[in-house]
Amino acid sequence: MNTKHLLLGQTFEVTGDPFTAPWKDTVRVNSAGAVLLVGGHIAAVGQAETLRAAHPDAEVADYGQHMICPGFIDAHVHYPQTAIIASWGKQLIDWLNTYTFPEEMRFGDPDYARAIADRYLELTLAQGTTTVCSFTTIHPASVDAFFAAAAARGLRTVAGKTCMDRNAPEGLRDTAQTAYDDSKALLNRWQGRERASYAITPRFSPTSTPEQLAALGALWAEHPDCLMQTHLSEQVPEIAWMRSLYPQARDYLETYEAHGLLGPRAIYGHAIHLEPREIDRITDCGAALAHCPTSNSFIGSGLMDVAGLAARGIPLGLASDTGGGSSFSMLRTMAAAYEIAQLRGTALHPAQLMYLATAGAARSLYLHDRIGRLAPGIEADLTILDLASTPAIAQRSAEAKDIWEALFPTLMMGDDRAIADVWIGGERRPKTA
């Protein structure tokens, strides 16, 4: 682990938020850049010629015109839905009952949970994703399987036991007390171990009683260093269902707020149909949102106001939401984010799209001091992008007037062929057949 590695190529560097300041002032690509890796962290970022002269003992990986990026970060996923990705024709509530809940029942078998955790992480690593924030199932073994599989690969991950005590099949319901007890035991076992972070995880208000939400809110108050993840305002029928179950609540966010589940280190998935009060409260308290564009279009949820929410300074991370999302690829997710923003009248710049999948997602998970940027002291998780990975991409990139025009075709049309290499904790991931 003490071997020095010097990576040469075009470096994607972020110094600020390109949604609250001009992207030209916050994001840049150095066409003759280098990144020095020592002991699992980034030791230096700078000019290739300078770093090469200063560190003649380093092992060199020369990537030419490939782009050296922070590893992609997926801010909201459901690893137990791996096997049901791309299932046909349902919106949210029907999706849960038809596909999700029957599949999650299978995770009572620890062997099955381990097999899917391994499969999921291999699929996402092939797409250049080095950190995910995942829901699991109500089964503690599903949490153990995921964190163990991530630890075996040296990955930084976030996850937590998904809690539900109503409106789910009997085999997928816990109680307020068991949700608290199981989550606390798992938290004590995994928080800060290896590269794991625990997230207290009520699925969403319709599948938790007020008593369960209160119990999880109490647990979060006891362990404020943990994250809290859930869903918010994904579909209009879901919001109507929530209102029937919580008639006293002014809006969806208040179902969490009233039970201690709003504050810093909270991340809410989807957040499409927000009320003005909800936006104000999320902004004021420092909570984060996960944008899930392929899922939002695939199951017909709606168009998130990415530009408007990000302009408020709300931490915003990009997410695949697999398996409701239709791809494991963060490149495909960036393409979908661009398309959805276009439908709302905004053309997101390539610098902004890359930010959402790297530094922005790290900020949304409160891991911005550890991952998501090329900067000294940051953990050395890196993805190397080939900007000419297919004939179609190569011919368009060759006509580009600047690096952003050269990068954009990969964001729109790229797939796993664009992932030239992945580095985890300062070590190159072996190529798989």
What average pLDDT does the segment 278-287 reach?
98
- Give pairs for 48-54: CB < 8 Å, separation 24+: 48/8, 51/6, 52/6, 52/8
Residue closest to 353 by CA, chosen among 10, 23, 15? 23
Tokens (6 digits) for 367: 């891991």
What is the pLDDT at residue 95? Answer: 80
What is the pLDDT at residue 2? Answer: 65
The span from the CA of 219 to the CA of 167, in Å, is 23
391-423 per-position pLDDT tens digit? 999 999 999 999 999 999 999 999 999 999 999
Residue 27 has pLDDT above 70, yes or no: yes
How many Cβ atoms are within 10 Å of 213's Cβ, its own excluded? 24
- Domains contained in the chain, CATH given: 5-71+372-428 (2.30.40.10), 72-364 (3.20.20.140)
143-156 per-position pLDDT tens digit? 999 999 999 999 99
What is the pLDDT at residue 430? Answer: 85
CB-CB contact of 71 with 62 (8 Å): no
What is the pLDDT at residue 16? Answer: 97
Tokens (6 digits) for 255: 């179902």
Q: How confident is the model at residue 94 (pLDDT cuts 50, 70, 90)?
A: confident
What is the pLDDT at residue 231? Answer: 98
Three-class DSSP labels, 64-112: EEEEEEECEEEEEEEHHHHHHCCCCCCCHHHHHHHHHHHHHHHHHCHHH
What is the pLDDT at residue 432? Answer: 61
226-254 per-position pLDDT tens digit? 999 999 999 999 999 999 999 999 999 99
What is the pLDDT at residue 97? Answer: 84
Arithmetic mean of pLDDT over the chain: 96
What is the pLDDT at residue 87? Answer: 86
Residue 41 has pLDDT above 70, yes or no: yes
Residue closest to 269 by CA, chosen among 291, 252, 301? 291
The span from the CA of 191 to the CA of 193, in Å, is 6
Residue 1 has pLDDT above 60, yes or no: no
286-337 per-position pLDDT tens digit? 999 999 999 999 989 999 999 999 999 999 999 999 988 899 999 999 999 9
